[in-house]
Amino acid sequence: MHLGQGISTITNARVLDVDTATISEPTTVTINGEQIVEVGGSRPSSGSDCFDAEGRIVSPGLIDAHVHVLATTANLGNLGDQSPYYLGAQAARLMGDMLGRGFTTVRDAGGADFGIAAAARENLFPAPRLFFGGKALSQTGGHADMRGPGTHVMDKHLCCPNIGIVCDGADAVRKAARENLRTGADHVKIMLSGGVASPTDRVDSTQFSDDEIRAAVEEAEAANRYVLGHAYTAKSVNRGLELGVRSIEHGNLIDRRSVELLLEKNAFLVPTLVTYERLKQDGAAFGLPEASQNKVDDVLYAGLDALKLAAEHNVKIAYGSDLLGGMHPHQGQEFAIRAKVQTSHQVLRSATTTAAELLRQEGNLGVVAAGASADLLVLDANPLDDVSVLGDADSSIHSVIKGGRLLE
Report the range of poorest mean pLDDT among 141-150, 185-194, 224-233, 347-356.
Answer: 141-150
- 240 within 8 A of 192, measured Cβ to Cβ: yes
If pLDDT is split at 50, 70 and 90, which confidence band does 293 have?
low
Is the pLDDT at 197 greater than 70? The verdict is: no
Share of the chain above pLDDT 70, in %: 89
Across the range 259-275, mean pLDDT stands at: 96
b/e per residue 129-145 (b: at least 16 CB within 10 A)? bbbbbbbbbbbebbbbb
* pLDDT (average), residues 37-52: 80
Task: Say yes or no to pLDDT of 289 above 70.
Answer: no
Average per-residue pLDDT for the chain: 90
- Cβ atoms of 161 and 151 closer than 8 Å: no
Average pLDDT over residues 206-210: 94
Q: Indicate whether 282 pLDDT > 90.
A: no
Residue 76: predicted pLDDT: 76
* Residue 162, pLDDT score: 77
Q: For the chain, which domains are there? A: 3-61+366-407 (2.30.40.10), 62-358 (3.20.20.140)
Question: Which regions of 80-226 does DSSP assign to beta strands (E)?
Answer: 103-108, 129-131, 136-138, 164-166, 188-191
In percent, the amount of the chain with pLDDT more than 90 equals 75
At residue 265's C-alpha, the angle toward residues 264 and 271, to 5°, is 100
Q: How far is CA 309 from CA 317, 321, 347, 350, in A?
A: 11, 19, 14, 15
How far is residue 66's CA from residue 45's CA, in Å, rounded to a whole number? Answer: 38
pLDDT tier at 158, thresholds 50, 70, 90 = low
113-138: pLDDT as tens digits: 999 999 999 999 999 999 999 999 99
Question: Using CA atoms, how far apart are residues 362 and 356, in angstroms rounded to an integer?
Answer: 5
pLDDT 10s digits, 307-326: 999 999 999 999 999 998 88
Of residues 197 and 134, more confidence is placed in 134
Beta strand 129-131 with 9-17 is unpaired
- Tell me which of 160 and 393 has the higher pLDDT: 393
Least confident of 76-85, 180-189, 235-244: 76-85
pLDDT at position 14: 97
The SS3 assignment for 175 reads helix
Alpha carbons 94 and 134: distance in angstroms, whole number = 18
Residue 224 DSSP symbol: T
Q: How confident is the model at residue 268 (pLDDT cuts 50, 70, 90)?
A: very high
Strand, coil or helix: 373: strand
Q: Is residue 295 over pLDDT 60?
A: no
**Cβ-contact 98, 128 below 8 angstroms:** yes
The model's pTM is 0.93
pLDDT score of 147 more than 60: no
Cα 234 to Cα 175, 200, 205, 331, 407: the distances in Å are 28, 21, 11, 26, 42
Question: What are residue 67's DSSP bridge partners?
Answer: 108
Q: Which residues contact 40 (CB under 8 A, 6 or more apart)?
A: 24, 27, 28
Judging by beta carbons within 10 Å of its beta carbon (0-12, 13-18, 19+), is residue 86 exposed, middle or buried?
A: exposed
Grouping H, G, I as helix, E, B as strand and the rest as coil, residue 46 is coil
If phi > 0 it is left, if psi is from -120 to 50 it is alpha, else beta; for residue 208 that is left
Within a 10 A sphere around the Cβ of 108, how many other Cβ atoms?
A: 30
The 3-state DSSP class for residue 339 equals coil
The predicted pLDDT at position 290 comes to: 66
